[in-house]
Amino acid sequence: MAIARRELIGSMAAAGVASTLPITYARAQAKPKIRIGVLNDMSGPYRDITGMGSVACTQQALQDFGASNKGIEVEVIFGDHQNKPDVGAAIARQWYDQGVDMIVDVPTSSVALAVSAVARQKDKVFMDSGAGTSDLTGKLCNPNTVHVTYDTWMLAHATGAAMVKAGGITWFFITADYAFGHALQRDTSNFVIQAGGKVLGSVNTPFPGTTDFSSYLLQAQASGAKVIGLCNAGTDTINCIKQAHEFGVTKTARIAGLLVFISDIHALGLQIAQGLVLSGTFYWNLNPRTRAFSERVAPKMPGVRPGMAQAGCYAATLHYLKTVAAMGVVEAKRSGAETVARMKAMPMDDDVFGPGSIRADGRAVHPAYLFEVKKPEESKEPWDYYNVLAEIPANEAFRPINEGSCPLVHA
Partner 1 sequence: MITILGVPGPLLFGQLLLGLINGAFYAMLSLGLSVIFGLLNIINFAHGALFMMGAFVAWMLLNYLGLGYWWALVLSPLIVGIFGLILERTLIKHLYKLDHLYGLLLTFGLALVIEGLFRNKYGSSGMPYQIPPELEGATNLGFMFLPNYRGWVVFAALIACLGTWLLIEKTKLGALLRAATENAPLVQAFGVNVPRLVTLTYAGGVALAAFAGVLAAPIYSVNPNMGSNFINTVFAVVVIGGMGSIMGSIVTGFSLGVIEGLTKVFYPQASETVIFVVMAIVLLARPAGLFGRTA
87 near partner 1, rule: CB under 8 A: no
268 near partner 1, rule: CB under 8 A: yes
267 near partner 1, rule: CB under 8 A: yes
Nearest residue (CB) to partner 1, 206 versus 288: 206
SS3 404: coil
190 near partner 1, rule: CB under 8 A: no
What is the four-CA torsion angle of 19, 20, 22, 27, rounded to 10 degrees?
Answer: 140
What type of residue sits at position 197? Answer: G
Q: Which string of DSSP letters, residue by residue, matches 32-94?
A: -EEEEEEEE-SSSTTTTTSHHHHHHHHHHHHHHHTTTTTT-EEEEEEEE-TT-HHHHHHHHHH
Under rule CB under 8 A, which residues in 130-189 are in contact with partner 1? 177
377 near partner 1, rule: CB under 8 A: no
Cα separation values, 32 from 77, 86, 174, Å: 16, 30, 51
Question: Which residues, 6+ apart, have CB-to-CB distance to 165 below 8 Å?
Answer: 195
Number of H helices, E strands in the chain: 16, 15
* CA 49 to chain CA centroid, nearest Å: 9
Within a 13 Å sphere around the CA of 86, how many CA atoms are in the beta-carbon half? Answer: 0
SS3 131: coil
Cis peptide, bond prior to residue 347, ω within 30 of zero: no
Least distance in Å: CB of 250 to partner 1? 12
What distance separates the 2 farthest-apart alpha carbons in the chain?
91
Least distance in Å: CB of 178 to partner 1? 11
Least distance in Å: CB of 251 to partner 1? 9
Nearest residue (CB) to partner 1, 109 versus 263: 263
Nearest residue (CB) to partner 1, 19 versus 211: 211
Cα separation values, 60 from 56, 179, 307, Å: 6, 34, 14
Burial class (CB in 10 A: 0-12, 13-18, 19+), 29: exposed
Task: Work out which of 272, 332, 365, 373 binds partner 1, going by CB under 8 A.
Answer: 272
108 near partner 1, rule: CB under 8 A: no
Q: Are 297 and 314 in contact (CB under 8 A)?
A: yes
206 near partner 1, rule: CB under 8 A: yes
45 near partner 1, rule: CB under 8 A: yes
Region from 116-124, 230-238, 281-289, 361-369 binding partner 1, contact rule CB under 8 A: 230-238
Crossing angle for the helix pair 288-297 and 51-65, to the nearest 10 degrees: 100
Least distance in Å: CB of 263 to partner 1? 5
285 near partner 1, rule: CB under 8 A: no
Region from 60-68, 85-93, 182-190, 205-213 binding partner 1, contact rule CB under 8 A: 205-213
Q: Residues binding partner 1: what is the number (CB under 8 A)? A: 40
Task: Work out which of 67, 92, 238, 277 binds partner 1, going by CB under 8 A.
Answer: 238
205 near partner 1, rule: CB under 8 A: yes
Cα separation values, 358 from 146, 394, 395, Å: 8, 11, 12
Region from 56-64, 122-130, 217-225, 384-392 binding partner 1, contact rule CB under 8 A: 217-225
271 near partner 1, rule: CB under 8 A: yes
211 near partner 1, rule: CB under 8 A: yes
Cα separation values, 363 from 151, 180, 317, 397, 411, Å: 9, 19, 15, 11, 16
235 near partner 1, rule: CB under 8 A: yes
Region from 22-30, 64-72, 242-250, 343-351 binding partner 1, contact rule CB under 8 A: 242-250
Least distance in Å: CB of 238 to partner 1? 5
105 near partner 1, rule: CB under 8 A: no
Task: Work out which of 167, 248, 328, 376 binds partner 1, going by CB under 8 A.
Answer: 248
Region from 4-12, 119-127, 181-189, 238-246 binding partner 1, contact rule CB under 8 A: 238-246
Least distance in Å: CB of 14 to partner 1? 46
Nearest residue (CB) to partner 1, 216 versus 383: 216
Site residues (vs partner 1, CB under 8 A): 43-49, 177, 203-206, 208-212, 214-216, 218-219, 222, 234-235, 238-239, 242-243, 246-248, 263-264, 266-269, 271-272
